[in-house]
A and B are shown apart, each in its own frame.
Chain A
Amino acid sequence: MSSILTVAGVFAGLSLLSIPAAAQRGGGAPQPEGCPGAPQWQIDRNAAAAAARGPAAPGGGRGAAAPEGAAAGRGGRGGRGGAAAEALPPVPRIPNEPQYGVQAGKPDFGGLAKGVWNVPYIVNLQVNAHDEKGCQYIIPPFKPAAKALWEQRELKDLEKDDPEGFCLPPGVPRMFFTPYPLQVYQMPDRILFVYEGGAHVWRLVWMDGRKLPNPEDVNPTYLGYSVAHWEGDTLVIESNGFNDRTWLDASGHPHGEQLKVTERLTRTDFNNIKIESTIDDPEFYTKPWTVVTGITWAPNRTGPFTMRGGEILEYICQENNRDLIHINAVPHTNTPR
């Protein structure tokens, strides 16, 4: 088993090196009207990479419609798209019986089945997610100081001070970008997410009708305070009460303690949950903005990444964490704000 873990680690490492190749974006979908083009930093980076490869290399600069051949579901480590074409079973549902409480009759997110949800590795929300209209590039509505901070973290420091590198919990909505698998347990009055990565943590979401607290009244935390309700077949999770010590993604999109996140989870078919995350933080952004990502179902079956018996593995990040020394990162509490 340890060799499998090593392979997984190598894949994660390769993903890190290939920043910002948009390999996890599903290709092919036509762009809606009015979408922004590639951000200038990406054009510059691709040009620099092309120049470094020399004149024989195929043209630099990412074309607007360059299909990357990413499998549907843009999922996870190494893109295990699976056999397409096969007819999928219908989306399973929780029995419509009173003992299931608020979950009765709603889509089943897999907690009773053998399997895990694979989580993609979203390095940079600007290029690895879609917006709510389907645009493949996102220009966050930065306030000037936020833009400068992101540029410092991504373009100057090359992400070396990422708090997740210190084995701190990735935060919300970043738990869906990590790229470590998760399971979802639906209970009559709450939902529990358990995660393989992010230091083997869990996240509890209340569904007993309580409202979000006044953020002034709760201790600021990495994972915040979460409540949820169903809107039709979409689970809507609202969270606040965050501390300011996480980044929204590995590239360092910032947030502060005023952050409020709304995540809308829809099991669009048997294999996929679509996740629309709206980030609202008036300290750093001029208006709320939305990123659309997804997670993909990996049932209990044999294969290089699914020899887990349908369960998530135990990954303890803080065990022998040496990366930070090598990349000369500074302690997270000193990161610029």
Chain B
Amino acid sequence: MLPVIGQVNNKPDLGGPGVWSLPNIPDVTPAGGVPFNSKGKQVWEKRRTQPASDPARACLPPGVPRIMYSSYSMEILQLPNRVVMVFEGGTHVFRSIPIGTKAGLKHPADPNPTYLGDSYGWWEGNSLMVDVVGFNDRSWLDSSGHPHGEKLHVVEKFTRVDSSKLEYTATIDDPEYYTRPWTVTTSATYRPNDRLNEYICQEETAK
């Protein structure tokens, strides 16, 4: 039984008058390790020695799923036909996710590669599922440098298990760098009656 946490359009309310604190995970290696292929291993070993090359340090968007563990806060807003996630960090960016049914899952045939990809979401029970493709290859999966390319396919699952906790998993599938899909698991903590601040990363780099 889930505790009552409010509903929007008959779905669990992932928002409300508050914000979600996101964790900071510099290295998302899961307990079982990362199923690198040889190219993936090579790229990661090199990047680990070059933390200053992290694109996020140039105030570029962290990408998906990294934006969910980039340490800044997030607010979720639900409309009947979309879920909007707005972020304090990652250069004050947003994700606007159209919501349909799983059967209706569709992406553009040849999407323009972007940092945040092309997202499509649906509800599965009390969980919000989001399928994301169409990435560029310019973000790292974490600050340790786990790589991805344009073939990256991410499936996210958001579950509000109680009023203060949002569980999150992201399955990462990118045959260019990994031998099989692997999963990142984390969670966010609710801060009621708080609001997001304005953090403009490029203000510092513009000096």
Contact = CB atoms under 8 A, between A and B. Distances in A.
Interface of A: 1-2, 5, 111-112, 163, 166-169, 183, 185, 187, 190, 192, 194, 199-202, 204, 219, 221-223, 245, 309, 311-314, 316, 318-319, 331-333
Contacts of A202: 84, 86, 92-94
A199 B202 contact: yes
A274 to B, nearest CB: 24
Interface of B: 58-61, 75, 77, 79-82, 84, 86, 91-94, 96, 98, 108, 110-112, 114-116, 138, 195-198, 200, 202-203, 205-207
7 contacts: A166-B206, A168-B206, A200-B93, A201-B91, A202-B94, A313-B114, A314-B112
Contacts of A168: 200, 202-203, 206
For A166, A219, A331, the residue with the greatest tally of chain B CB atoms inside 10 Å of its CB is A166
A318 B84 contact: no
Q: Which 6 A-B pairs have the closest CB atoms?
A: A1-B112, A221-B198, A314-B114, A166-B206, A202-B94, A201-B92
Contact of B58 (A5, A192, A318): A318
B131 to A, nearest CB: 16
A150 B116 CA distance: 38
Given A194-B96, A201-B92, A222-B200, A316 B115 contact: yes
B202 A1 contact: no
B200 A169 contact: yes
Given A166-B202, A221-B198, A222-B200, A185 B112 contact: no
Contacts of A245: 203
B195 to A, nearest CB: 8
Contact of A318 (B82, B112, B196, B202): B202
B81 A112 contact: yes
A318 B93 contact: no
Contacts, number: 92
Given A185-B77, A200-B94, A222 B115 contact: no
Given A168-B200, A185-B77, A199 B96 contact: no
Given A1-B111, A316-B115, A192 B202 contact: no
A316 B110 CA distance: 19
Contacts of A309: 108
A98 to B, nearest CB: 14
A58 B175 CA distance: 63
A316 B139 CA distance: 13
Contacts of A221: 197-198
A194 B116 CA distance: 15
Given A190-B77, A199-B91, 5 more contacts: A112-B81, A199-B202, A204-B196, A318-B58, A331-B207
A318 B59 contact: yes
A187 B79 contact: yes
A219 B198 CA distance: 9
A1 to B, nearest CB: 4
A312 to B, nearest CB: 8
Contacts of A167: 202, 206
A287 B60 CA distance: 40
Given A167-B202, A222-B198, A316-B61, A5 B112 contact: yes
Contacts of B196: 204
Contact of A311 (B58, B96, B110): B96
Nearest to B111: A1
Contact of B79 (A2, A112, A204, A219): A112
Contacts of B203: 168, 245
Contacts of B197: 219, 221
Nearest to A112: B81
Contacts of A185: 77, 79, 82, 84
A327 B180 CA distance: 48
B207 A333 contact: yes
A332 B77 CA distance: 33
Nearest to A206: B195
Nearest to A204: B86
A5 to B, nearest CB: 7
Contacts of B77: 185, 187, 190, 192
A168 B203 CA distance: 7
